[in-house]
Structures are given as C-alpha cells and as structure tokens.
C-alpha cells in the first residue's frame, strides 16, 4: 500500500492509499541547484539594500548561500517583508533596514517609499510561485505588493474579470511590471523550487523564462485529485491555499472532488475572506464592488466550489471551514480519504500532487 507524504506546515502528513486507487502521482523531488553565486554575491556587495520578500524555504536557503556577501557589505541594509521573514534573519540583525510600504490612498495612484527611488543598487530576493491573478507571483510582484503603496489595489483592478490564470502573463502582472520600472537600479532574483529546495535561480528573468523553470506534469483528469498546498511558506493561511490550488485543478474532471491539504495556522488570511466568513460580505459568488484586499479570492473560492466538490484538511475551526465557507472537512488524512471513497466508490481513481506551487499541471 503506497505511502505518500505531504508537506503540512512545518511537518509532513502521511496519506496511505490503495495502489488500485492511484491514477497519477506527481511528487516534485529535490534536484541539484543551478545558482550563479558569484554573480549574485557581486550584486549584493555593491547594493545599498537587500529586500527579502518572503520566508519560503528556497528563499531562506538562498540567503544562507550568500550570507558572506551580505556580511561583507558594511553599508548594506537588509529589509524583511514582514515579521515572519524578520524571525528567519536572526544572523543579520545588525544590518536590519527599516522600510515600510507607504500609506494606502483612496486614489488609484502608485506610492513609493523614497528609498526605492534613491540612487543605489537594490537586490530583491523571493521564491516564484503560480498565482491565479498574476500568473506567477515572482520577485517583481512580491516587491511591489510589499513596498509600493496601492500596488495591490491597482494590480487587482487592472482586470475586469477574476478568471484564475496560473502561469499566464495577465494584465495584473503587466501593471506590476509597469510599477517596478520606476524603482531605481533594481535586481530581481527568483528562486525556482523543487522538492522544497532551490532548483534554479534567475536574475531579472522574463515571465516565460520563469514559467519554463517549473516542473511540467501532464495528468489524465481523474474523478478526484489530492493537492498539497506546499507546507511551510505556502499554507499558513486559507488565502495562500486558495491561490496555489489553481495550478493543480486541471487534473480533476469537472464536477469531481478535490482534497486540499493546507495547515492554515494563521487563519483565513486576506481581509476579504475574513469579511466573507464573518458575514460582512454575502456569499453570492462575486467579489465586492468596492476594493477590498484579497477581493479576487472570493471569486476564486466560489468558482472552485462551483466546479468541484472541495474537502479541506486544515487547522481551521470547523465553524469557518464548513459552516461559513462551505467546505467539506475532515479531522485527518485517513478520515478525508475514507469520506471520498465512500462518496465516489471504492474503485475511484485519484490524481495526487504533493506540492502544488512547484508544478504546472495540465489535463492530458
């Protein structure tokens, strides 16, 4: 009986499934990394600021690999995206730079911190991942959403319909590219993950180059798909999970079942999902007319539930997951699989993707 391990927060969870129930299994495995550390180290030694855009495993691995270059640049300010990133950068406390996103404005204007527009090289580091709004949430996107005021509002409203478009270069992505063009002397560094570790590192890479760096997997659509949201760095909130699951759903027949594994230790995530769960936004299947942070995720959530029967295995209270948001739920992987087999029949076939943010899945 095959045992399949899924990243789940800081640990892994085991799913045991009968061989006759398995269709295709995609488990992105760690590969030898391709990293030009000499070039990246040289850029960091000449930089005034190093911006660390997320705390994903590949990002932290890359930071560790260029730590000597960071320490040798006496004038370098290391700027973390948030408190989670800051907790992971204990070795660079003396270099901690302070930079905040400018206050949001009701007007749709792009607001930049003065440090982004000042003279001096700025290196941004992040891990790229698929995203339904931007196609790929790469370093450029992460940088603008974190340190440019109104970036999220402007990029969200750049599209009229919130069609989930993972790995497609969308209008929202183009709007962020335009914003980033005003940042003075930036270097955008993207780690492409595989098996939770660095697979390759690309500097100032165009969209198509980044997309081609991800594992491409063809799956014959099955009656059900089991999707891992990616573990630590990817599944801290329901918002995170709702965004990455779209890279895997093509492996499921329309009307089929999706089991999504995401720990959600930090809760729902976006303001829009919190408002939906608390009843401040009616569950009508449409995002609110007025901009709310994460408003597109309401459309993604409702679209997901309208096309598939979704079960969520998470740490969210059932009050939210089941009663407020309409997911089927389970207390563990064994119970989740048992419920799906009871519904679909003991001969049902499952596709399995253990790390959704690392693969481009297409129905073959």
Cβ–Cβ < 8 Å for 240, 131: no
With a cut of 60, say whether residue 81 has pLDDT above it: yes
According to the model, what pLDDT value does residue 364 have?
65
Question: 37-210 in CATH: which number?
Answer: 3.40.50.11440
According to the model, what pLDDT value does residue 93 have?
64
According to the model, what pLDDT value does residue 342 have?
92
CATH 3.40.50.11440 placement within the chain: 37-210
Fold of 3-29+215-363: 2-enoyl-CoA Hydratase; Chain A, domain 1 (3.90.226)
Edge-to-edge, what's the strand order for the sheet holding 350-353? 22-26, 350-353, 222-228, 252-261, 309-313, 328-329
According to the model, what pLDDT value does residue 99 have?
59
111-161 residue pLDDT tens = 888 889 999 999 999 999 999 999 999 999 999 999 999 999 999 999 988
Average pLDDT for the chain: 90
| 355, two tokens | 């790390």
Closest CA to 276 of 325, 221, 349: 325
Which of the two residues, 284 and 225, has the higher pLDDT score?
225
With a cut of 90, say whether residue 311 has pLDDT above it: yes
Q: How sure is the predictor about 318, in pLDDT bands with cuts at 50, 70 and 90?
A: confident
- Could you tell me which residues are beta bridge partners of residue 148? 112
């Amino acid at each position: 009986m095959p045992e399949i391990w899924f990243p789940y927060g800081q640990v892994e969870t085991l799913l045991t499934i009968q061989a006759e129930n398995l269709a295709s299994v995609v488990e992105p495995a760690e590969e030898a990394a391709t990293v030009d550390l000499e070039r990246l180290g040289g850029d960091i030694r000449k930089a005034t600021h190093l911006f660390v855009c997320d705390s994903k495993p590949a990002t932290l691995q890359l930071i560790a690999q260029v730590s000597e270059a960071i320490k040798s640049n006496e004038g370098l300010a290391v700027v973390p995206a948030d408190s989670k990133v800051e907790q992971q950068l204990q070795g660079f406390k003396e270099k901690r730079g302070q930079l905040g996103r400018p206050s949001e404005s009701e007007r749709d204007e792009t607001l930049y911190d003065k440090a982004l527009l000042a003279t001096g090289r700025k290196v941004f580091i992040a891990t790229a991942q698929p995203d339904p709004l931007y196609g790929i949430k790469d370093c450029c996107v992460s940088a603008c959403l974190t340190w440019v005021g109104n970036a999220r509002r402007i990029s969200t409203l750049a599209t009229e319909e919130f069609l989930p478009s993972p790995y497609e270069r969308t209008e929202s992505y183009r709007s962020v590219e335009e914003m980033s063009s005003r940042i003075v002397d930036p270097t955008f560094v993207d780690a492409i993950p595989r098996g939770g570790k660095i697979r390759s590192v690309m500097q100032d890479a165009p969209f198509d180059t980044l997309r081609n760096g991800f594992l491409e997997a063809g799956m014959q659509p099955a009656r059900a798909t089991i999707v891992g949201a990616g573990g630590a760095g990817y599944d801290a909130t329901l918002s995170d999970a709702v965004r990455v699951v779209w890279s895997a759903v093509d492996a499921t027949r329309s009307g089929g079942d999706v089991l999504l594994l995401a720990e959600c230790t930090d809760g729902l995530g976006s303001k829009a999902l919190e408002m939906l769960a608390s009843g401040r936004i009616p569950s009508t299947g449409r995002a609110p007319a007025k901009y709310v942070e994460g408003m597109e995720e309401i459309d993604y959530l409702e679209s997901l539930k309208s096309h598939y029967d979704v079960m969520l295995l998470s740490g969210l209270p059932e009050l939210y997951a089941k009663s407020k948001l309409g997911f089927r739920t389970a207390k563990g992987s064994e119970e989740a699989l048992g419920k799906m087999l009871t519904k679909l029949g003991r001969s049902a076939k499952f596709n399995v993707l253990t790390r959704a943010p690392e693969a481009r899945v297409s129905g073959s």
